[in-house]
A = this chain, B = another copy of it.
Amino acid sequence: MREIFSEELEDLHVRFSEMGMLVNEAVYNSVKAFVNHDRELALEVIQNDEAINQREVDIEKRSFEMIALQQPVTSDLRMIVTIMKASSDLERMGDHAVSIAKSTIRVKGNTRVPEIEEDIAAMADIVKQMVEDVLDAYVKKDEQRARKIALQDQQVNEAFKTIYDKCIDEMKNDPQTVIGSTDYLMVGTYLERVGDYVTNICEWIVYLKTNKLTELNTNNQEMM
């Protein structure tokens, strides 16, 4: 019985990591599509989201059954609850990738500002690295690394502040860029939210190690 449980728990970890990789790919591709004005890739991101949602439902179901049928010991239960909650965070990160993809489809044809698009690409690079790092830290249950990753959210917020300021300037100086710049702002907020979700997952990793729910996000320093 105990051995089967261990296998099921291991399987749950694998499924969570796989879901994380799908989400990472979605976020990465959505920004790539946005910056390269690639409508096909944007559509692909939107279509793939259903698979991510299905993964969450599957993880949810398996987690619930493991708790209901096998009454795990406290440490295992903590692991399962963490996966349940963190998979919601992953699913929402996928939703934001869809929002970015929708912006790509909407923005096509409007006047664009290459400099801001470069800033968005750079912001996305930081976020992508954070997503990859948090999945790795999760697999290794590395609390210290999780704390470090959460600190990077500050960089994401600063990157957004820069994009915000540039968009406001553009829109003031050239009404032609209003629709495009509004989309840059939206994409910026979506990426910023993805950073917040990474921070949430960092908090879950810390929880696994310390048994304490700790707020790692320095919310007060955030602009939005």
Residues of A within 8 Å of B, CB-based: how many? Answer: 41
Q: A175-B172, A219-B98 are known contacts. Are A67 and B61 too (CB-CB below 8 A)? A: no
For A174, the closest partner residue in chain B by CB is: B175
Q: Which of B185, B189, B224 meets A102, CB within 8 Å? A: B224
* A159 vs chain B, min Cβ distance (A): 17
Binds B, one of A5-13, A77-85, A149-157: A77-85
Does chain B have a CB within 8 A of A162? no
Q: Which B residues are in CB contact (< 8 Å) with A118? A: none
CA distance A171 to B170 in the complex (A): 11
A98 to B85 CA separation, bound complex (whole angstroms): 22
Q: Is residue A17 within 8 Å, beta carbon to beta carbon, of the partner chain?
A: no
Q: Which residues of B have CB within 8 Å of A98?
A: 219
The residue from B53, B77, B95, B178 contacting A171, defined by CB atoms under 8 A apart: B178
The answer on a CB contact under 8 Å between B224 and A186 is: yes
Does A18 lie at the interface of the complex (its beta carbon under 8 Å from any beta carbon of B)?
A: no
Please pick, from B57, B223, B224, the residue contacting A213 in the complex, using a CB distance under 8 A. B57
Residues of B within 8 A of A61 (CB): 213
- B77 and A64 contacting across the interface, CB-CB below 8 Å: yes
Q: How far is the CB of A156 from chain B (nearest CB, A)?
A: 15
A176 CB to nearest B CB, Å: 8
Pick 23 A–B contacts, CB within 8 A, sort by A: A49-B219, A53-B215, A57-B213, A64-B77, A64-B81, A67-B67, A67-B77, A81-B84, A84-B85, A85-B88, A88-B88, A102-B222, A102-B223, A102-B224, A103-B224, A106-B223, A164-B182, A167-B182, A171-B171, A175-B175, A185-B185, A185-B186, A186-B189
Given contacts A67-B67, A175-B175, list 5 more A-B pairs with CB under 8 A. A64-B78, A64-B81, A88-B88, A106-B223, A167-B182
